[in-house]
A = this chain, B = another copy of it.
Amino acid sequence: MSTAQIPIHRAVMDDSLRKATATRAWLAERRLKMFNFIGSPGAGKTALLEALADALAGRLKFAVIEGDCATARDAERVAARGISAIQIVTGEGCHLPAAAVHQALADLPDGMECILVENVGNLVCPAAFDIGETAKIAVLSVTEGEDKPLKYPGLFRKAGAIVLSKTDLLPHLRFNLDTCRQAIRQINSAAPLFELSAKTGAGLPALADWLAQQKS
């Protein structure tokens, strides 16, 4: 079986890579950056996008592409903040495919300066699929435990930036911030780390500034 599987897998990946490459070209033509937010379900990705809608108002015009197995709830939440948002429903799909993201680009409004993608809630699979993004942004909530970067290193290794979210909950958790920082740095010593709470706004300006600076 294994010899038969190889060309099939390669063909599927080639197609995915073609779509990701086409997306990169589309973004370059328009001088647009695209950031791919990846994290577990409930890591606070949508709340972060909602908070960024306010924090970046007047500084960076961005649209959002949302991925979920079912429902359009996240796109509705983001749209309620005045942000153009497109929902991709993946069914049983565990990640956003490059083709679906590429197709969604055509429906985005003109005049954007940046695209923020919220991938399907999953700390494992989306990290393996290039969608043509400028960078992956790993989102880890403090409620998930300090050791997750070591147990799920794939995403953290590839991330261009790392967000540690829900820091407002730290007083109520057995969570050692230094242990988590060390775990992150063991896997990725270079990516900027943003420790923040979308709920209180603490730490949010640093991420907003970083995103605004990425503007071409």
Contacts and interface: CB of A to CB of B under 8 A. Distances in A.
B147 A69 contact: no
Nearest to A91: B154
Nearest to A145: B42
Contacts of A172: 169, 172
Interface in A1-42: 1, 4-5, 8, 11-12, 15, 40-42
Interface of A: 1, 4-5, 8, 11-12, 15, 40-42, 68-71, 73-74, 92, 94, 120-125, 128, 141, 143-145, 147-148, 150-154, 166, 169, 172-174, 199
A4, A41, A68, A71 — most chain B CB neighbours (10 Å): A41
A1 B166 CA distance: 44
A40 B121 contact: yes
A118 to B, nearest CB: 12
5 contacts: A40-B144, A69-B152, A69-B153, A94-B122, A169-B173
A85 B145 CA distance: 21
Contacts of A122: 94, 122-125
A143 B144 CA distance: 9
Given A41-B123, A94-B124, A128-B92, A169 B143 contact: yes
Given A40-B40, A124-B94, A124-B120, A147 B1 contact: no
A69 B169 contact: no
